[in-house]
Structure 1
Amino acid sequence: MKGLSKIREKLIFDVAIVGAGVSGLTAGIRLKQLCPSLEVCILEKSSSIGDHIVSGCLFNPRALNELLPLWQSQNLPLGTKVQSVKNLYLTESRAFKIPQAFTPWSHYSQDYILNLGELCKWLKTLAESLEVRVFENFTAKEILTNNLGYVEGVATGPVGLNRNFEKKEFFQDSVEVLAQQTIIADGADGFLARELRKKFKLDGLQNLLYEAHPQTYSLGLKEVWETSGNSPGQVVYTFSWPINKGRFRGFLYTTPVHTHVGIIAGLDYANPQIDLFEELQKFKTHPYIKKYLEKGRPIEFSSKVTEDGGFFSVPKLSFPGGLIIGASGGFCNPITYQGVHLSMKSAMIAAESICEKGQKSVLSSLEIKSYYENYIKSWAYDELFKHRHIRQAFNSSPLFGLAYSFRNRKLLSEKSVFYIENSRKGDNFSERDCTESAFKHQPPKYVQKDKKITFDKKDALELANMIWNDQPEFIHLRHGNEQNALYSLKAFDGIEEKICPTGVFKYRDSKLYIESHKCILCGACRLKSTRDIVDWSLPEAGTGPRYNY
């Protein structure tokens, strides 16, 4: 890059946390609760805490009860208490209620329909009151290591370069943030977590109780609608239609003034002609779903990959100089798709492992291996272990998954009627390797857009509240991959166009064009593009979507 200094400003802390989502903020709070003398900072790439948080989730307050036992008297923004839960099996025009015995995991009576971004804002205020330094507009883009290869911190990306890598008036160079322990909380398939898993070989046996399989991922797409007349606190989960193979789930939540509607689909699907954005539009036309939306209007669109490997995909959680927490470590229940409470618990365990001796001297340890040991003693481990086989059952079909859940409804803990290995290709190979040739599949049929219930990708982009500066392109076709892009177009029907929910990729005249400014940072292209032809790096700090709901 032109004119960038090799001498960077340095900030020094005892613990540096990358990511100010719920797990990163929880880690900072717990560290200061236990070891007030520690110097702790949190780095966040968005311009305001919560901007990049895809929320509207069901929140289990179990970890919050441990972190803040008196939270109910502290005016937390926990949203709407769940009043009713329905699990439905959909056909194209009908909805059949699934008996509770077939979904024994669906106990949500103590949960809340939560705006996670608002909770993160509240946790930030609490963290700062405990003297945690929270730095917004700080994108950690580089792992720093010492001469032994141990992690000693991170470096941020520069801010204020134009698309030609020339300095603008408000240019700010990279900053090195050095720490004795670096906690990585940069989300599902996070940029730095992915690098660390490879560098330190965190997947595999690695002295773990169980072998850590490669992580698997789903893509969630969600719209928030401004509605009236819907009874608040309703939770609806659907199975089968419009995709009746693999790990597909539809969902709908209601609050007093909003309805959240969306889908979650495993990215190991075989047909490259599937467009998950179009599947969401199709899902909304189902008579049962449509009735919730007819008198409303969409006000936000969001999308994000989520980890769904579950128990068998939690990696080794420590490395020399740091720890991995939250979604970066795979802490999500893949059958309930609830991960916030597990992410918070992992953050608390990490902080407690750092502070076990209650003194700064504990930080002299190069690797805090007790973190994984403490995890396997926790209820987070127990919850993931209890549901460890169910996701694999849903790999085949929703009917088989529901039948398996029914058969094991009383034995969902240590003893299962039969064990389902991670034998499906998607459990042991990357999502892109599961894609088959378009010639083996029929193209799906999608709905015409009426601009009332259904919309196109251009509309979705507008609803993501994007903020982009003039900056270098951060998504590229990998050098020398022009022929692979052409191969993707011919053999896989240009899957890059279809996997992106906001139209970043477009094939014209047999050539792939990329418009980075349309990216909402969902992460799907990194996982599903043909032959890994997409080179994706982090954008400039303070840019991207700004989610409010």
Structure 2
Amino acid sequence: MHFDLLVVGAGPAGLSAAIRFKQLCKEKGQDLSVCVIEKGSEVGAHILSGNVLQPTALEELLPEWRDDADCPVHRQPATASRFYYMTSKFGVRLPNPPQMKHKGNFVISLSETVRWLGRKAEELGVEIFPGFAGAKVMYGPGGEVHGVQTNDFGVGKDGKRKDSFQLGMALTARATLLAEGCRGSLSQAVMKRFGLREKAGAQPQTYALGLKEVWEVAPEKHKPGLVVHAVGHPLPWDVYGGSFIYHMPDNRVALGLVVALDYRNPHLNLFQEFQQWKRHPMVSRLLEGGTCLQYGARTLNEGGWQSIPSLAFPGGALVGDSAGFLNVPKIKGTHTAMKSGMLAAEAAFNAMTSQPAGKPLDLSAYETSFKSSWVDQELFRERNIRPSFSLGAGIWGGIAYSALDTYLLRGQAPWTLRHRYADHERLKPAAECAPREYPKPDGQITFDLNTSLFRSQTNHEHDQPPHLRLVNPKLPEVVNLPVYDGPEARYCPAGVYEWVTGEDGGKQLQINAQNCLHCKACDIKDPTQNIRWTVPEGGGGPSYTVM
């Protein structure tokens, strides 16, 4: 199947690109086709974000959104902001950093919001195919990106075709936009093939894992629109991260813990750290008597301005978190992702209507427009905040530098701090680090992993080739286990990696791929970079509805 524009990923960046492209078609009287493929079972099923939306890009894309009764964004304006330093028992109120003031923003469920964006895209004539995972990039005779091949359906674990077999589709396009989100598998392949990180002189991308729940709390405890951020407990002083509590509409509260993946202690268990955070009196008092509705986890880019790769490649471009546009101090990336999709769509439309047919499209105009946009200016201004926490002085050193950069230098320092290491290079040997102990869950506020996974509604066809692959199957047993005490069992928030006793009495790594939340933490943090995350059959994975 051939389209003019192919978008991989129905998140905020991909759908904004599709909408903007169709708007231009309507404005200019052009009949050009747009296809969006999405690996989730439906639009929004794989979308997770603790989200207080800055509506800048939404205002530009759909100015009438406030008058749309179907739009979920305007249901809950942010009404107040608070910032705390948490000790093990108390929360100390601190002044709100300027980046964390939320006047004019909205507390949303991003999975609900992208469903609405999907409907707006379809109204404009965009074809959206949920349940179709982009398995590999197709290249033309000149090496340019020519489209995407989707996964085959109905292949068993043994690699043989089952009765239900369906051949994957070859989707070709004049321009392909990769909007897969953080650490997208196709985006990683394209960056490597075309040397996009090297071309831009980009520093290593750094990441964090966000673990999130949505609760329904007692009405008397609910404060609609309240936005709370905190640093400190339960994370060690040298681990970058923080927590959030967002009061949504309908007595719902979104809460979570974000942990930077450059942490050094392999004993750190990210799921258990999240449970430990909920035991804090400031959190537990809010949740007592409430009901946990949903659980999930997802990685996010934290590298910022200095880690952005070259955005355009022959035949396409990277948009949204495939490239990494999160504003870390603001803890916001939806508005920047949407704007990047809009800019890429404009470049693609202009290229299609001005460049000769039959030749690879040059989308370098997207790169140019991005560098003159408010997104680049915003990310440049905040570029030194995140790396300041890795200078060796821990959380307080980072906070002190951030205050200097924000209030005195106003983001215009004559230097740019570097990200010197990739996250997988940071783990210390287990023998050099103190173990961490975690209490058992109480089943009321804290939960075991299986209970939480049930709330994510994650599901995969069991009889299919594993989508999590070890390049060297023996490497975990000879490196990860003896040196790092098997860290994959602790950085994965879904119990995918489990060390079991084999027939010979030794420990073996068992991969429970059916548990996977598609968070990509394993692909990022594995110290030997031996794990390859690939897409499973389309439609597999979590099924988020309010995340």
Aligned to 1:28: 18
Q: Distance in 2 between matches of 1:479 and 1:357?
A: 40
Q: Alignment partner of 2:298: what SS?
A: strand
User: What are structure 1's unaligned runs of at least 5 residues?
Assistant: 1-10
Q: Distance in 1 between matches of 2:320 and 2:356?
A: 22
Aligned counterpart in structure 2 of residue 224 of structure 1, from 194, 214, 225? 214
Change (3 A) 1:305 1:115: same
For 1:299, the aligned partner's letter is: L
Aligned counterpart in structure 2 of residue 213 of structure 1, from 180, 203, 207? 203
Aligned to 2:94: 98
Q: Distance in 2 between matches of 1:325 and 1:120?
A: 16
Change (3 A) 1:497 1:358: closer
User: Do residues 246 (structure 1) and 243 (structure 2) align?
Assistant: no
Change (3 A) 1:486 1:506: farther
Aligned to 1:15: 5
Change (3 A) 1:71 1:433: same
For 2:289, the aligned partner's letter is: K
Q: Distance in 1 between matches of 2:50 and 2:428?
A: 33
TM, length-normalised to structure 2: 0.93
Describe how 1:357-368 pairs up with structure 2 within 5 A. 359=353, 361=355, 364=359, 366-368=361-363
Q: Distance in 1 between matches of 2:352 and 2:167?
A: 36
Shift of 1:357: 6.6
Change (3 A) 1:462 1:340: same
Q: Distance in 1 between matches of 2:493 and 2:398?
A: 28
Identity, in percent, stands at 33
Deviations along 1:483-540, one digit per CA (max 9) or x if unpaired, are 4433211111110100111211111231111111111111111111231222321110
Deviations along 1:157-215, one digit per CA (max 9) or x if unpaired, are 111223233333432211100011100001100010011111101013x3x5xx32121
Shift of 1:403: 1.6
Q: Distance in 2 between matches of 1:44 and 1:358?
A: 24
Aligned to 1:154: 148
Q: Distance in 2 between matches of 1:465 and 1:28?
A: 28
For 1:91, the aligned partner's letter is: T
Q: Alignment partner of 1:531: what SS?
A: coil
Check whether the contact 2:471–2:531 (CA below 8 A) recurs between aligned residues. no
Shift of 1:235: 1.0
Query: Which is further off, 407-416 or 271-280?
Result: 407-416
Q: Distance in 2 between matches of 1:147 and 1:358?
A: 19
Aligned to 2:177: 183
User: Do residues 397 (structure 1) and 387 (structure 2) align?
Assistant: no
Aligned to 2:544: 547
Shift of 1:110: 1.1
For 1:400, the aligned partner's letter is: G
For 1:390, the aligned partner's letter is: I
Shift of 1:318: 0.2
Q: Alignment partner of 1:105: what SS?
A: helix
Check whether the contact 2:155–2:465 (CA below 8 A) recurs between aligned residues. no
Aligned to 1:406: 403
Shift of 1:367: 2.2
Change (3 A) 1:429 1:404: closer
Aligned counterpart in structure 2 of residue 380 of structure 1, from 360, 375, 379? 375
Change (3 A) 1:224 1:286: same
Q: Distance in 1 between matches of 2:290 and 2:387?
A: 37
Deviations along 1:239-275, one digit per CA (max 9) or x if unpaired, are 1111122321111111232111111111011100001
Aligned to 2:77: 81
Shift of 1:56: 4.1
For 1:548, the aligned partner's letter is: T
Deviations along 1:345-401, one digit per CA (max 9) or x if unpaired, are 000111111233782647755321111110011100111011011111223422122
For 2:207, the aligned partner's letter is: Y
Report the aligned-residue RMSD: 1.7
Describe how 1:377-456 pairs up with structure 2 within 5 A. 377-395=372-390, 396-411=393-408, 413=410, 415-416=412-413, 419=415, 421-422=417-418, 427-456=419-448
Check whether the contact 1:89–1:238 (CA below 8 A) recurs between aligned residues. yes
For 1:222, the aligned partner's letter is: K
Query: Which is further off, 314-323 or 481-490?
Result: 481-490
Aligned to 2:504: none
User: Do residues 287 (structure 1) and 278 (structure 2) align?
Assistant: no
Check whether the contact 2:34–2:127 (CA below 8 A) recurs between aligned residues. yes
Q: Distance in 1 between matches of 2:169 and 2:178?
A: 17
Aligned to 1:474: 466
User: Do residues 125 (structure 1) and 119 (structure 2) align?
Assistant: yes
Aligned counterpart in structure 1 of residue 527 of structure 2, from 515, 526, 530? 530
Q: Alignment partner of 1:288: what SS?
A: helix
Q: Distance in 2 between matches of 1:153 and 1:174?
A: 13
Shift of 1:479: 4.8
Aligned to 1:303: 297
User: Do residues 317 (structure 1) and 315 (structure 2) align?
Assistant: no
Q: Distance in 1 between matches of 2:489 and 2:283?
A: 27
Describe how 1:489-504 pairs up with structure 2 within 5 A. 489-504=481-496
Q: Distance in 2 between matches of 1:289 and 1:484?
A: 37
Deviations along 1:212-255, one digit per CA (max 9) or x if unpaired, are 21211110000111112211111111111111223211111112
Deviations along 1:311-334, one digit per CA (max 9) or x if unpaired, are 111110000000100000101112
Deviations along 1:270-290, one digit per CA (max 9) or x if unpaired, are 100001100000000111111
User: Do residues 38 (structure 1) and 32 (structure 2) align?
Assistant: yes
Check whether the contact 1:485–1:530 (CA below 8 A) recurs between aligned residues. no
Q: Distance in 1 between matches of 2:13 and 2:415?
A: 32
Aligned to 1:263: 257
Shift of 1:433: 1.1
Q: Alignment partner of 2:528: what SS?
A: helix
User: Do residues 143 (structure 1) and 137 (structure 2) align?
Assistant: yes
Deviations along 1:30-68, one digit per CA (max 9) or x if unpaired, are 001112421111111112100111134111100000001
Q: Distance in 2 between matches of 1:470 and 1:353?
A: 42
Q: What is the total number of aligned residue pairs between the two structures? A: 528
Q: Distance in 1 between matches of 2:361 and 2:171?
A: 17
Aligned to 1:192: 186
Describe how 1:454-465 pairs up with structure 2 within 5 A. 454-465=446-457
User: What are structure 2's unaligned runs of at least 5 residues?
Assistant: 502-506
Q: Distance in 2 between matches of 1:250 and 1:272?
A: 21
Aligned counterpart in structure 2 of residue 111 of structure 1, from 105, 119, 130? 105
Query: Which is further off, 441-450 or 81-90?
Result: 441-450
Q: Distance in 2 between matches of 1:227 and 1:90?
A: 22
Q: Distance in 1 between matches of 2:102 and 2:437?
A: 35
